[in-house]
């Protein structure tokens, strides 16, 4: 069963705009991770946020985590055409080192 559910399922924005996608999950977690998948390729790890963290930055990426609402958001600022990809959240649950992936948000950046 899926732990994470991304929202929206698809998002199209103009180049230069900010893109925000959300992830909701069901059970307590150790950490939450975001991955990117370009068409026809494997997933690439972007960022990991621990359950005791509320916000984390990496370059143009900003991730927030609200454990009380069991949700996370990924913000990509100043989007570029190369950001076109699918983005997945994945959760690592307490007592379980495996990751459970959501169904993904497909992001399209319009040049």
Partner 1 sequence: DAEITQSPRHKITETGRQVTLACHQTWNHNNMFWYRQDLGHGLRLIHYSYGVHDTNKGEVSDGYSVSRSNTEDLPLTLESAASSQTSVYFCASSESRDPDVNEQFFGPGTRLTVL
Q: Interface with partner 1 by CB under 8 A: which residues?
A: 1-2, 30-31, 33, 35, 40-45, 48, 50, 88, 92, 94, 97-104
Return the number of the residue (13 or 99) whose C-beta is nearest partner 1: 99
Provide, rounded to whole angstroms, the least separation between the CB of residue 43 and partner 1: 4
Residues 100, 58: Cα–Cα separation, whole Å: 22
Provide, rounded to whole angstroms, the least separation between the CB of residue 111 and partner 1: 26
Instruction: Give the CA count within 13 Å in the CB-facing half-sphere of 53.
Output: 15
Residues 14, 79: Cα–Cα separation, whole Å: 8
The tokens describing 96, both together, are 């379980």
Provide, rounded to whole angstroms, the least separation between the CB of residue 80 and partner 1: 22
Q: Are strands 105-110 and 10-14 parallel, antiparallel or unpaired?
A: parallel
First CA to last CA distance, the chain = 36
Provide, rounded to whole angstroms, the least separation between the CB of residue 15 and partner 1: 27
Return the number of the residue (69 or 98) whose C-beta is nearest partner 1: 98
């Amino acid at each position: 069963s899926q732990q994470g559910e991304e929202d929206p399922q698809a998002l199209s924005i103009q180049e230069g705009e900010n893109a925000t996608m959300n992830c909701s999950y069901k059970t307590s977690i150790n950490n939450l991770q975001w991955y990117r998948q370009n068409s026809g390729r494997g997933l690439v790890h972007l960022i990991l946020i621990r359950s005791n963290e509320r916000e984390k930055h990496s370059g143009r990426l900003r991730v927030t985590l609200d454990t009380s609402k069991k949700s996370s958001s990924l913000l990509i600022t100043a989007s570029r055409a190369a950001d076109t990809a699918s983005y997945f959240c994945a959760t690592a649950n307490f007592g379980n080192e495996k990751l459970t992936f959501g169904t993904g948000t497909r992001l399209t950046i319009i040049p």
